[in-house]
Amino acid sequence: MKFALLYEMECPRPWQEDSIYNCFWQALEQVKIAEEAGFHTVWSVEHHFLDQFSVASAPEVWLSAVAQHTSKIRIGHGVRLLPFNYNNPIRAAEMAAVLDIMSKGRLEFGTGRSASAIELQGFGIDPADTRDQWDEALQMIPKMWTQEEFSWDSPTFQMPPRNVLPKPYQQPHPPLWMSGTQPDSAVMAGERGLGFMHFSM
């Protein structure tokens, strides 16, 4: 059995001047102790506008800091949101590749689509589009990581031939995961060969 940490970056009010600052730095100190205790992975969510529940709006930045303060524990996006208005697939591929390099090949690339109206509306995303955009992004990103020249032409995303750089340190690419709460999500993960991150609501 492997043990892991999952951070929402919860910061209860009332907030003092250094409350959110302390939230991030205390979490980093916890991860350092968890690595010494033999924990396998640390995951960070990506959330936006959720006030006390989560201030983890830039997980790649915090996970990069974790990578520089640790040497063994795996570094996980739990998850990187893939609907296009959250994260352009090109940028998601680039940022993840740099994180994999800076962690010396410790990245676990968890993906998801988000279900919160507060977040979706804030980014102008139609909930009906999230699954298709997640699926399309997840088709593209591994190709960006493994092909010298990548292009895409669909009704929703166009990209001329380009070499997306850098490539990840892990070969052929970091392990891929998806999150979900529904049985059909687990089936979808299995069909695509993805690790499945199940959350109970």
The residue ranges of every structural domain in the chain are 4-198
Q: What is the CATH number of domain 4-198?
A: 3.20.20.30
Kind and range of the H or E run holding 170: none
The pLDDT of residue 86: 98
Query: Cα 159 to the chain's mean position, in Å?
Result: 22
SS3 36: helix
Residues of the chain with pLDDT under 50: none
The DSSP annotation for 28-66 comes to HHHHHHHHHHT--EEEE----S-TTS---S-HHHHHHHH
Q: How many residues does the chain have?
A: 201
In this structure, the dihedral spanned by the alpha carbons of residues 27, 198, 39 and 33, taken in order and rounded to 10 degrees, is 10
84, 67, 180, 72: which is closest to 132 by C-alpha? 84
The pLDDT of residue 127: 96
The pLDDT of residue 181: 85
The pLDDT of residue 198: 87
Per-residue pLDDT tens digits for 7-19? 999 999 999 999 9
Q: Are 70 and 23 in contact (CB under 8 A)?
A: no
Rounded CA separation 12/19 (Å): 9
Q: Are 42 and 34 in contact (CB under 8 A)?
A: yes
Provide the pairing of β-strand 150-153 with 158-162: antiparallel
